[in-house]
Structure 1
Amino acid sequence: MTPVLLGLIGVALALPVPALLARASWPYRSPAAGIVMWQSLAIAAILAISGAGLSTALWLVSEQDPSPSRVALHVLVLLVGVLVWARFWWAAWTVWRRTGTRRRRQRELVDLLGEPDGRSPALRVLQHEALVAYCLPDRTQARVVVSSGTIDKLGADELRAVLAHERAHVGARHDLVLEGFEFLRAAYPRILRTDAPLAQSRVMVELLADDAARRVTGDRALAGAIVTLAGSQAPDGAMGIGSEALLRLERLQDPPVRWWATTLAWTISVVVLVGPTVFLAAPWIAHALDVVIG
């Protein structure tokens, strides 16, 4: 029954558990730990399903005279595990290529239309009245983009908060965090797919960038920038400051990190990663290998 139990754990971590956590707001109180928790859930789900496939393969080799119905069930579990891994690597390639192409095109466009700022070669100013502020992360050619309308509308401290926010995205490579969740989401068949980890992580990277900005300018300047730029749109492949304005403003009233939220998120991360492997997969695989070798 180990392959079936691992498969059920993988399904639970892929659907009902994320659906339950998506309703909770406490991960926002410790966004770094919250992101690790979501990553652990997604990885644990794939590992459980993969473990189900591996243990199924070992079962098919080691079991003597199994019934046709049990063989059919185990073959189905094995196929699901293979499908998940195949989809994961295909998604990793396609998302990386698509996102990289979009960012390269945007970077070429802003370099053509934008004016370099003498204070930083990575900053481009677009001469336009629309309120625009976003970044195009990259290992060597990142860009921070703002419009002249944004500069005119914001005060000096508010503009510093915006630039600190976007540079935090670039410096911490929050884009790689979100791309990882896109890989993991696309790995599952549509019937097992949920948007909750990616959606919450998009919010939490904004909170992390807010925390970096508030350390530079304080809460008041950041709040003013969030209100002014609320709803502003960033192009595909970019990361903007205009999303989830209400939630972010409410969070500015609380301390950036709550110890209990951090502890809970780390506890969940460790349990979901270690638990299935230690208590189910490892003993069964060791027993199956003994049977095969013996």
Structure 2
Amino acid sequence: MSLYLLPLAALALVTALWAPRVLTRSPWPTREPVLGLWAWQCLTATALLCCLCALLLSAAPVIETARAWPTGPGSPAVTAAWDLAFAHPWATAFALLLTAGAVWTAVSLSRELFHAFRHRSARLAYLRERAPDLPGTLPAARGPVLVLEDEYPDAWLTPSFPPQLVLTTGALRKLTAEQIEAVLTHELVHARAHHHWLLHLSTALATGFPRIPLFAHFCDQTHRLVELAADDTASRRCGHRTTALALIELNQHRGVLTCATTRPLLHQRVDRLLQPPARLSFPRKAVVSLYTGVAPLLPPLLALPAVAHILR
């Protein structure tokens, strides 16, 4: 099985160490954020599938032993299986390491989802407190957009069922009708594309494995690209200048226009909206989509002959 583990290990190392550096230095994800999100998801899926296939292959001695055990503890099949296991002790250690990694991945995902659901429950409780339900004889207090009394202009999306868009009265007083439409369009893109699930996944992997460059870059780039993708949709519908002005008005009290801002992404988003980058041509987008989409298929293809031998 070592002949099949080596290509998987090499592919995992390239995907986890070299590919993220190349992708972060490339300018095209900023020009095509949706395609950039697709590329990062494909790279992450490739690394995870490499580990999964390697786990299956390194556990081959255990699988052989389990399959041969019904024939009797002292049967030749069991003896041969135990010989196979002792002949490759490094494979057993590698399988244990990958199993621990898989368990820790599940723990990290569960922990992130728990915190996300708790945060969402707290946010919904806050909204219920600030905007209580009206009596049954009156019209419903809430709808797709909920307005809260607050002097600061703000808008956000609470990922519930259905998603709840929230605007403050400060935003209504400060923004024009076109700018409010741009803000709502931006938030609806997050809801329809389920960006919150992608953010939870990237955050869980980055916090669970902080020393792996792929997961750290995946988290950072996902938080950046989802905002750029939503900005693009809002600017196509409402105009680049309108969307940029809405972003400035909502964040001016946070220092988005100052050089000492602690939110550099806001500054980058405003600059990008005021000076939109050139989009990729359709042939180039097709080539990038094809190459990145093929990457997750490589680990199963590399492991397929060995898996067929194990299951035979």
Residues 196, 275 of structure 1: alpha-carbon distance in 2 compared, 3 angstrom cutoff: same
Q: Which residue of 1 aligns with 2:250?
A: 229
Are 2:279 and 1:259 aligned? no
Q: Aligned partners of 2:6 and 2:81: how far apart in 1?
A: 15
Q: Aligned partners of 1:107 and 1:18: how far apart in 2?
A: 37
1:269 paired residue among 258, 272, 292: 292
**Percent identity between the two aligned chains:** 24
Q: Which residue of 2 aligns with 1:101?
A: 118
1:146 paired residue among 167, 183, 191: 167
State the 1:260 CA deviation.
Answer: 5.4
Bigger Rg, which one: 2
Residues 143, 161 of structure 1: alpha-carbon distance in 2 compared, 3 angstrom cutoff: same
1:22 paired residue among 24, 34, 37: 24
Residues 255, 190 of structure 1: alpha-carbon distance in 2 compared, 3 angstrom cutoff: closer
Are 2:54 and 1:52 aligned? yes
- TM-score normalised by the chain length of structure 1: 0.81
State the 1:15 CA deviation.
Answer: 3.1
Q: Aligned partners of 1:126 and 1:243: how far apart in 2?
A: 27
State the 1:4 CA deviation.
Answer: 3.4
3-state SS, counterpart of residue 15 of structure 1: helix
Does the aligned pair in 1 maintain the 2:61–2:84 contact within 8 Å? no
Residues 115, 64 of structure 1: alpha-carbon distance in 2 compared, 3 angstrom cutoff: closer
Q: Which residue of 2 aligns with 1:34?
A: 36
Q: Aligned partners of 1:243 and 1:115: how far apart in 2?
A: 36
3-state SS, counterpart of residue 204 of structure 1: helix
Does the aligned pair in 2 maintain the 1:11–1:192 contact within 8 Å? no
State the 1:197 CA deviation.
Answer: 0.7
Residues 271, 137 of structure 1: alpha-carbon distance in 2 compared, 3 angstrom cutoff: same
Give per-residue Cα distances to partners, 1:64-103, cap 9 Å, x unaligned. 95697x7342123212321232122222222112101101
Are 2:79 and 1:77 aligned? no
State the 1:289 CA deviation.
Answer: 4.3
Q: Aligned partners of 1:76 and 1:38: how far apart in 2?
A: 30
| RMSD (CA atoms) | 3.1
3-state SS, counterpart of residue 145 of structure 1: strand
Which residues of structure 2 form unaligned runs of 5+?
A: 65-79, 134-138, 255-262
Letter of the structure 2 residue corresponding to residue 91 of structure 1: S
1:173 paired residue among 183, 187, 194: 194
State the 1:251 CA deviation.
Answer: 3.5
3-state SS, counterpart of residue 131 of structure 1: coil
State the 1:136 CA deviation.
Answer: 0.8
Q: Aligned partners of 1:115 and 1:129: how far apart in 2?
A: 19
Q: Which residue of 2 aligns with 1:197?
A: 218
Does the aligned pair in 1 maintain the 2:131–2:141 contact within 8 Å? no
Does the aligned pair in 2 maintain the 1:15–1:192 contact within 8 Å? yes
3-state SS, counterpart of residue 244 of structure 1: helix
Give per-residue Cα distances to partners, 1:151-210, cap 9 Å, x unaligned. 2222221122112111221232211221232344456x4443631112111122112222
Q: Aligned partners of 2:306 and 2:118: how far apart in 1?
A: 45
Are 2:112 and 1:92 aligned? no
Letter of the structure 1 residue corresponding to residue 166 of structure 2: V
State the 1:132 CA deviation.
Answer: 1.7
Q: Aligned partners of 2:117 and 2:181: how far apart in 1?
A: 28
3-state SS, counterpart of residue 121 of structure 1: coil
Which residues of structure 1 form unaligned runs of 5+?
A: 234-241
Give per-residue Cα distances to partners, 1:2-56, cap 9 Å, x unaligned. 2233133223322332233222231122222221211111111111011111111
State the 1:150 CA deviation.
Answer: 2.1
Does the aligned pair in 1 maintain the 2:32–2:279 contact within 8 Å? yes
Residues 259, 229 of structure 1: alpha-carbon distance in 2 compared, 3 angstrom cutoff: farther
Where has structure 1 moved over 6 Å in runs of 4 or more? Answer: 115-120
